[in-house]
Amino acid sequence: MKLGTFLPPKVVQNKSWVALKSTFFCPHWVALWATSQTYESSPYPSWNASCCPHPQQPVAPCLRDPHASPPVFGSLAAAAGASPAFTSRLLAEGASAALRRPQPCLSRGSAMAMTGSTPCSSMSNHTKERVTMTKVTLENFYSNLIAQHEEREMRQKKLEKVMEEEGLKDEEKRLRRSAHARKETEFLRLKRTRLGLEDFESLKVIGRGAFGEVRLVQKKDTGHVYAMKILRKADMLEKEQVGHIRAERDILVEADSLWVVKMFYSFQDKLNLYLIMEFLPGGDMMTLLMKKDTLTEEETQFYIAETVLAIDSIHQLGFIHRDIKPDNLLLDSKGHVKLSDFGLCTGLKKAHRTEFYRNLNHSLPSDFTFQNMNSKRKAETWKRNRRQLAFSTVGTPDYIAPEVFMQTGYNKLCDWWSLGVIMYEMLIGYPPFCSETPQETYKKVMNWKETLTFPPEVPISEKAKDLILRFCCEWEHRIGAPGVEEIKSNSFFEGVDWEHIRERPAAISIEIKSIDDTSNFDEFPESDILKPTVATSNHPETDYKNKDWVFINYTYKRFEGLTARGAIPSYMKAAK
């Protein structure tokens, strides 16, 4: 039985957060639950009137029958880290009976601390952390219940709309609804199964960055091939990346667009976080640009047009990508663009802060040698250093808008600046501000009015040059400020069929021999990211258990992923 069983219909229908909280959990129960693991074996006094205004039925606001034993309490207690003994008592004896066992005598202020009603300075840091963890667990649980209900309704409405558009007869509609209902039932059942690393077979490493790596994997029960992004928890905590990986996970859950790489699952274990995403065998735009000196204007028009639509799809969701660059433009099996890597959607990495590059005491002298190179040598030098920059924690500031560096306020227009830099690179062969050091690149970006020039030996049309300059200018005058239609109507995009661009052949065809073809990816040696390091082996409990609650609610399963259970045809199976 699920907690949803106890949901009052009007609470679900009205999606009332306050009603949800007041319906289920008395704050005294929550505070006690949060500290249960700490004090469970200690000889504290029993629960009494001084601890709770409901001494006989401390969880009366939560359940009609306080002596019942709903599995939900056991599930939530386990999720919050309560000991197995306490969880078992909840299941076997019921919440009321379990709470009457010897427990810490909490003052009214302590019990109410998590609600903010009464400050409690006497609670230890460990107890406060347990209370915070519990609060996060409950909030996520309630919000997930509401989200699941909304998503199910949305899928039903989508089905009805499709059937109306297809003009199906009543009997056909009935059969389609029955099939959909079976899928929904299967989805609920499969969501309860735990997904782990053992459910996937690793085939090959296809990407590596500063904070993790990407592997091509095959799901054992279906044979479907995915890209698995692996991030080590210890690195995320140490390098303050928790907010970034949370942002990426959340936007991949929310975004359901042809222009965004689709995430099917996310889960975690003691060591790592895992994102299971669709595998796009075309590689990325960075690899494509490294293979070619330059792109033609026709090819550039196609890729920039698709990227315009991809960026706009993110903006319509209320997000700013902030990290648009060739590395994050992936190509599917037909060569069409999809956006990826949303780790900066809610903030900036340290390497993108102005002070990082303003530290002149540690910056290197200006690279006059690079500035004096001709365009061909610049392109060769850029390609030679580009891959190394992609792997470093510093990265490259070549594509970041100047207002982002200044941190005086910016909006979605910063993504259009980045697109202008990519367009320049496609046509010229290297970005306009490229240098041998990130510090020098930063200086060029901030001084863009003098450094944004076009080499005479690489001719491009006035239409292309004009669009680049309209992308890379002061944000107040930047194209796209009134809306994406201003960009679409630019003369450079003359002849583009915006409505059906994904249906046309890509500007550069992609050759794919099998579903696990990785010929468009670089070769990477195997790593030990899936194995415990020396540090984590020596301090497993200290390093993870105390801070692991920050990764609560990371797990996710997409409806399309769990209901697509049919095994793929034998001729499409990944080569072993």
Give the HSE-up count for residue 364: Cα atoms under 13 Å, Cβ half-sphere: 10
Q: Could you read off the pLDDT of 285-318 as tens digits, one per residue?
A: 999 998 888 999 999 999 999 999 999 999 988 8
Would the annotation count 488 as a binding residue? Answer: no
Q: What is the mean pLDDT of residues 62-86?
A: 42
> What residue type is assigned to position 360 of the chain?
L
By C-alpha distance, which of 47, 118, 25, 68 is closest to 39?
Answer: 47
What's the average model confidence in pLDDT over 550-564?
63
CA 514 to chain centroid, in Å, comes to 28
CB neighbours of 457 closer than 8 A, spacing ≥ 6? 374, 375, 376
Distance CA 382, CA 379 (A): 5
**Confidence (pLDDT) at 200:** 94
Q: Return d(Cα 37, Cα 385) in angstroms, integer.
A: 52
Alpha helices in 429-547 (DSSP H): 438-446, 448-451, 462-471, 484-488, 534-538, 540
If DSSP codes are grouped into helix, strand and coil, which group holds residue 562? helix
Residue of 493, 474, 511, 462 lying closest to 307 (CA atoms): 493
Ranges assigned E (strand) in 28-124: none
Set 323, 398, 415, 517: catalytic member: 323
The CATH fold of domain 193-281+522-572: Phosphorylase Kinase; domain 1 (3.30.200)
- Give residue-wise pLDDT tens across range 501-523: 999 999 999 888 888 888 888 88
CA distance 65 to 468: 68
Q: Domain residues of the chain, as ranges?
A: 3-138, 193-281+522-572, 285-503
Cβ atoms 435, 370 nearer than 8 A? yes
Q: Does residue 338 or residue 179 have the better pLDDT?
A: 338
Question: For the chain, what percent of residues have pLDDT higher than 70?
Answer: 60
Residue 105 scores a pLDDT above 60: no
- Alpha-carbon distance 431 to 424, whole Å? 6
DSSP, collapsed to helix, strand or coil, labels residue 428 as helix
Q: Identify whether 323 is a catalytic site residue.
A: yes
Q: CA 30 to CA 33: how far, in whole Å? A: 5
pTM, to two decimals: 0.63
Residue 313: per-residue pLDDT: 93
Each residue's pLDDT tens digit, 447-483: 999 999 999 988 999 999 999 999 999 999 999 999 9
The whole-number pLDDT of residue 430 equals 92
Give the architecture (CATH level 2) of 285-503.
Orthogonal Bundle (1.10)
